[in-house]
Amino acid sequence: MITSVAITGASSGIGKAIAYECAGRGMQLALLARRTDVLEAIASDIRQRHPQVKVVVIALDVADTDAILPALQQAREQLGGLDGVFANAGITAVNKTGAGEFRKDQHVIQVNLIGGMATVDAAARIFREQGKGVIVGISSVSAFKGIPGSAAYSASKAGFTNYLEATRIELKKHGISVIAVHPGFIKTDIAPNMDKYPFVISADKAARAIVTGVIKGHANIIVPAMPWAVLGRMMPLLPDKVIEKAF
């Protein structure tokens, strides 16, 4: 049973929606992100809607990997325990390969892959001490097939998915569950122009499916399940021309 969770990247998008969904299910929350002013506003709103839910705010930039473990330890201390960690923090960036802006790609890898891995590792350290816990990593359907113009983003998510799959097997003996989440096209305030893509759903709907899947103990959650559960298997087989036309 999950009663208290820490969520990285909780100031917007899927992370914010997950916070509201978890609060609605009575879970105590630690909200972590760089923009603490935004987190404080979200925390205040959640407390008004759900007075029984304890919400704490902790500043964290996952690009600073040394700060992650202390932040999660602080979350555990302030909540009086920690059952789950959502490694959700991530960024998107469009960058044409060879355009002279490789630093953009480096930053994407640092936040999405290295920061995600460091969050999982820190959570695992805490959960190994207590002999139980649930780690949820937010990847993407782009892990299944690289998206032109977002090569670094696709690579970061493919790497993160692979890492989550390996750690799931490794950490099971320690009483730790590792869950990989692969969202499709989700409409959020940090992803403009999503309406041009097919099968778009709201962040609230995605969060509902994600938290439900986590509670049920699903190892791999794809949202929305249809059609991405089918498309996810097909994407690696699609010809380059199809991907080029789609994106």
Residues tagged active-site: 153
Cβ neighbours of residue 152 under 8 Å, at least 6 residues apart? 93, 95, 104, 105, 106, 108, 109
Buried b vs exposed e over 190-229: b needs ≥16 C-beta within 10 Å? bbeeeeeeeeebebbebbbbbbebbeeeeebbbbbeeebb
Decide if 223 contacts 201 (C-beta within 8 A): yes
**Calpha distance 27→226 (Å, rounded):** 28
Place of tokens 């359907």: 141
One-letter amino acid for residue 223 of the chain: V
**Calpha distance 153→212 (Å, rounded):** 26
Buried b vs exposed e over 128-140: b needs ≥16 C-beta within 10 Å? eeeeebbbbbbbb
Q: Cis check for the bond before 227: say yes or no (omega within 30 of 0).
A: yes
